[in-house]
């Protein structure tokens, strides 16, 4: 799907000068918002942004201060798994 966004020329000029490819920035902003709202998954985010690895996705999310929920239960499950492995 191709999406067109109309931006007044004077604003587009200033926005484009402020750093990087404006189309890419718009795509990243949309993808980030969709991920944060739960409408797309991490693998879908990776595909949408054409990242080669999940580490690139993690870096992208970290750069935008988006962190996955990590609960006490998650920690307990990991500790139990380590205990079963004898670690």
The C-alpha atoms of residue 73 and residue 6 are separated, in whole angstroms, by: 46
CA–CA dist 21, 52 (Å, integer): 19
Task: Look at residue 64 in the predicted model and tell me its pLDDT.
Answer: 97
Distance CA 34, CA 28 (A): 10
Distance CA 50, CA 67 (A): 20
pLDDT above 70 for 19: no
Q: pLDDT of 2-17, one tens digit each? A: 888 898 988 888 887 7
Per the structure, how many domains does the chain have? 1
Kindly state whether residue 39 falls inside one of the protein's structural domains.
yes
Report CA 47 to chain centroid distance, whole Å.
11
pLDDT, tens digit, for every residue of 50-60?
A: 999 999 999 99
pLDDT tens-place string over residues 34-86: 999 999 999 999 999 999 999 999 999 999 999 888 889 999 999 999 999 99
Per the domain annotation, does 79 fall within a domain? yes
State residue 18's pLDDT score: 66
The verdict on residue 47 lying in a domain is yes
What is the extent of the structural domain holding 45? 9-84
CA distance 60 to 32: 9
Number of Cα atoms under 13 Å in the Cβ half of residue 14: 4
């Amino acid at each position: 799907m191709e999406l067109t966004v109309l931006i007044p020329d004077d604003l587009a000029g200033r926005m484009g000068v402020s750093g990087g490819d404006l189309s890419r920035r718009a795509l990243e902003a949309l993808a980030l918002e969709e991920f944060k709202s739960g409408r797309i998954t991490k693998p879908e985010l990776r595909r949408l942004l054409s990242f080669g690895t999940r580490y690139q996705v993690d870096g992208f999310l970290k750069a935008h201060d988006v962190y996955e929920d990590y609960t006490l239960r998650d920690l307990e499950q990991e500790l139990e798994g380590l205990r079963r492995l004898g670690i």
